Structures are given as C-alpha cells and as structure tokens.
Amino acid sequence: MDFKKLKKTLEKIEMSQEMQERIIRNCNSKKAIDMEEYTMNKSKKSWLKKSIPMVAALSVFVCFSIIGAAAVKNGFFKDVTRGNGTVVGTTYEQASEEIGVNVTVDENELTVSVTMLTPDKPPYSELEEFGIRSYQITDMSGNVVIKGSDTELSQISNGQTEIKISLEGIESGNYKLVIHKYVGCSKADQPLEINGVWECEFDF
C-alpha cells in the first residue's frame, strides 16, 4: 500500500481544530507511547527488527483512517419502536455537524437562524417547515433560566429558516441557547425529529 499517497489524500480532508487536537492526543496517548517503548525494547530480536517498519506504517494508516472517518458527516435515520417491536416512527440522529445555527436579539425576542449544510440531501431535501422541538437557555454558570419546546414552524427557503424564541422574564446578561431537538415537516410525511446538540452564546 502506498502510505505516502494515502497520507496526502487524507491531509486534504477538512475538520475542526478541536477534532484534529483530539485525534493527535489519541495518537500520543499513554497506550501509544507504551507500545512504542515496548517495540524499541524488543528491537534487539531480529524478527522484531523486520516488523518495526510494518508497525510504523500501520500506525500511520490507523491514525489517518481515524481522521478520515471523523471528518465524515455521521447523521443517520433510526426507527422508533414500541415495547413489542412495532415501528411507530423515525428520527434522525447525530445531526450536530449538519446544521449551522446563529442567534440575534431583538428587544425581548431571540431570532434563531438555521442553515442546513447539506440541503440537497435527505432528510433536509424533503422538508418544507422547521421548528425547535426541545431547547433551554442557561446563564453562564449553567443555570437553566428558560426551558422550552415546540416553537412555531417556519418555512424553509434554500436550506435556511428563522425561528423565534421569546425572552420574556429574564434579566439582562450573558446567556447560552442549547438546542437538543429540531422537528422538520412536509405535507406528505409525519414530522421528523432531528437530534443533536447546538449551542450559541448571546447577550441580552
């Protein structure tokens, strides 16, 4: 296998700095260091000397394979079942990396701007309306000041929509919106819950 070619290919994959640092930490973990020390201590044996290049190449392959896998969007559909196994609906899971969120404050209202990053792919390509199914607003100490559900549905246009949340009853300060569930609708199908975690800080 041409590992140099594989390395160049995988280096082109885009990912967040946080994800890169996490992968580097994993590759530099105690287990990885212990394995390297073990290999060096045994290097006097001729059979292991022949194995070292293969182990090194395999380590590079594994690390870059992890990078490649981590960069892939991983949302998936999941059946909702009753206790007897009967399928009663569908949800869409792990969608955190597939939806972008920004917020702006206008008097006593929060406008949540939602952008579907893959609007031409299911489930987003099938949806006509979008809303928030479950959310909370916390202060910067993590205390929940508003816990809400089921906002009004808004029309989707070119993979984007805006959703309104009332801020009545909270004092001025720094806050964080945390969304756990969206809901998407189309005329022909049942509403689809879209699960993940989305966070935005704002000043009120």
85 burial level (CB within 10 Å; 0-12, 13-18, 19+): exposed
- What is the per-residue pLDDT for 149? 95
* 35-39, 72-76, 193-197: segment of lowest average pLDDT: 35-39
2-11, 55-64, 112-121, 123-132: least confident range: 55-64
Do 60 and 85 share a domain, yes or no?
Answer: no
Of 70, 90, 109, which closes a domain?
70
Strands 174-185 and 192-203: antiparallel
Predicted pLDDT of residue 18: 52
10 or 171: which carries more pLDDT confidence?
171
Would strands 129-139 and 174-185 be described as parallel, antiparallel, or unpaired?
A: antiparallel
Question: What value does the mean pLDDT of the chain take?
Answer: 78
Give the amino acid at 5: K
The position carrying tokens 């009663």 is: 88
Angle between helices 30-41 and 46-70 (to 10 degrees): 160
Characterize the bridge pairing of strands 192-203 and 87-93: parallel
pLDDT at 61 over 70: no
Both tokens of 28, joined, read 């530099």
Q: Which pTM value belongs to this model?
A: 0.64
Residues 45 and 86 in one domain: no
Count of domains forming the chain: 2
Q: Is the pLDDT of residue 189 over 50?
A: yes
Cβ neighbours, 10 Å, residue 120:
8
* Shared-domain flag, residues 132 and 59: no
Whether the pLDDT of residue 81 is over 70: the answer is yes
Assign 143 a pLDDT band (cuts: 50, 70, 90).
very high
Angle at 20 between CA 17 and CA 25, to 5 degrees: 125
The yes-or-no verdict on residue 34 having pLDDT over 70 is no
- Does residue 52 sit in the same domain as residue 128? no
Domain boundary among 50, 70, 90: 70
Examine the pLDDT at 9 and tell me if it is beyond 90.
no
CATH number, domain containing residue 164: 2.60.40
- Supply the DSSP string of 90-157, one letter for each residue: EEEE--GGGEEEEEEEETTEEEEEEEES-TTSTTGGG-SEEEEEEEEEEETTS-EEEEEE-PPPEE-B
Q: How would residue 68 be classed by pLDDT, with cut points 50, 70 and 90? A: very low
Instruction: Say how far apart CA 16 and CA 86 lie, in whole Å.
Output: 40
User: Domain limits at 45?
Assistant: 3-70
Q: What is the model's pLDDT at position 33?
A: 43
Instruction: Specify whether 92 is located in the same domain as 116.
Output: yes
